[in-house]
Amino acid sequence: MTVQPANRDFSAAGKTRATPARDDVSWHFPAGGRPPLAARLARGGILSLNGTAGETVASARLVQDETGHARLETLNLDPSAADGAALLAALADASFLRLSGVERLLLPLSEERAAVAALATEITGETDTQAQWAVIDRAMLRQLPLLWRRHRSHVTYPFLRTAIGPEDRLPPLRPPRPDGPMYERWLPELGLAVSLRPIDRRTDLPLFHHWMNQGRVAFFWELAKSEEELDAYLAAQEADPHIFGVIASFDGEPTGYFEFYWAKEDRLGPYYEHDDFDRGWHGLIGNPRHLGRLKTLALFRSVTHYLFLDDPRTRRIMGEPRASHQKMLSYAADAAYVTLKEFDFPHKRAALVCCERDRFFREVPL
């Protein structure tokens, strides 16, 4: 492909720019444990990435040509940083957040080549000058383990068979449940960050009990029980390698509860043709301050994103909401889930829903 560089500053790009949030600051969360990074877009299209002390750790000039192609020029990454690829990923993420209609970002192949090579999947050039540009694709960037998922909290196992599990659906060996923060991502449409962490029944039990005993939650979850009974429920979950509970928060405020499971070993497994790395989840919004379609949809998309990031071999996220729960099915459809069929569980008439990796990253805005 030939790209003709008719430069113009991104600050004048117009209609493809997302609405700035919090003085045009977006936050980015490297997976390796580095503190959050703040991205700011200044006049002249200068995009800078700053650490918690305000120091600049990366910068570039964000421009667009007349055809709508976006480029990062004059890349500068902190030479003392060992995570140059993560810094570049944060710059690219910040660019895509500000360019909602752009799916590909061009970078000079000659600058910061090692970092660029860790993100780019294509090379394009200009026939006259032979200048080469590397291409970062939005959908592919969202799948890379450089941002959002906290690596230190858990690990991915190799494919090893085990004899522990349902006899008719023996799984691969599963890693232990995560420990500590799992995922964090900036939501430009809300101007806040969503995060996920494992539930801890030793400290979260009162909150879990309060949420489960709300009428609107109890109607679907049927867990309006005492703290002692709910403690036993969570203790049983801790002993089960196929499932674990998660607290979701907005800007650190606990907002909802989710259960992530491996679908093959789950009660859902016998009802469809499962794969070893299919995942699934159940969820609720417990904090009434955060009810509403925009926030609920942001959570549903975020947990789906996390599950795809967690293991690159996961190709599908499955679900089994009540077939009559039209609001839930509507949310699922807006997160790229499709209904495959209806079937009868012992306790409900369910809809089998499925989200495929390729479609999710191609169609769902993140």
Q: Are residues 89 and 187 both part of a single domain?
A: no
| Catalytic entry in 112, 184, 265, 320 | 320
Beta partners for residue 131, in sequence order: none
In a domain, 271, yes or no: yes
Looking at 121, 141, 161, the residue that finishes a domain is: 141
Q: Are residues 219 and 295 both part of a single domain?
A: yes
In a domain, 2, yes or no: no
Contacts of 222 (CB under 8 A, 6+ apart): none
Cα 335 from Cα 107, distance rounded (Å): 30
In a domain, 1, yes or no: no
Q: Are residues 76 and 199 both part of a single domain?
A: no
**H-state helical runs in the chain:** 84-98, 113-117, 138-141, 201-212, 215-221, 227-238, 293-310, 326-334, 357-363
In a domain, 257, yes or no: yes
Q: Are residues 110 and 201 both part of a single domain?
A: no
Q: Are residues 37 and 104 both part of a single domain?
A: yes
Q: Which is it for strands 192-198 and 183-187: parallel, antiparallel or unpaired?
A: antiparallel
Q: How many CA atoms lie within 13 A of 253 on its CB side?
A: 10
In a domain, 111, yes or no: yes
Q: Are residues 50 and 20 both part of a single domain?
A: yes
Looking at 90, 119, 141, the residue that finishes a domain is: 141
Q: Are residues 327 and 208 both part of a single domain?
A: yes
Q: Are residues 199 and 250 both part of a single domain?
A: yes
Give the CATH number for residue 82.
3.40.630.30
The string over 253-273, giving b where at least 16 C-beta atoms fall within 10 Å of a residue's C-beta and e elsewhere, is ebbbbbbbbbbbbbebbebbe
Q: Are residues 137 and 159 both part of a single domain?
A: no
Cα 57 from Cα 337, distance rounded (Å): 38
Looking at 122, 141, 160, the residue that finishes a domain is: 141
Cα 211 from Cα 44, distance rounded (Å): 49
Q: Are residues 44 and 175 both part of a single domain?
A: no
Beta partners for residue 58, in sequence order: 49, 77
pLDDT tens by residue, the chain, 366 residues: 222 233 333 333 333 334 444 458 999 999 988 899 999 999 889 999 999 889 999 999 999 877 778 999 999 999 888 899 999 999 999 999 999 889 999 998 877 888 999 999 998 875 555 578 899 999 999 999 999 998 877 888 999 999 998 988 999 999 999 999 999 999 998 999 999 999 999 999 999 999 999 999 999 899 999 999 999 999 999 999 999 999 999 999 999 999 999 999 999 999 999 999 999 999 999 999 999 999 999 999 999 999 999 999 999 999 999 998 899 899 999 999 999 999 998 888 999 999 999 999 999 988
Residue 260 lies in domain: 151-363
In a domain, 250, yes or no: yes
320 in catalytic set: yes
Q: Are residues 102 and 244 both part of a single domain?
A: no
In a domain, 146, yes or no: no
Q: How many CA atoms lie within 13 A of 21 on its CB side?
A: 16
Q: Are residues 124 and 175 both part of a single domain?
A: no
Number of domains in the chain: 2
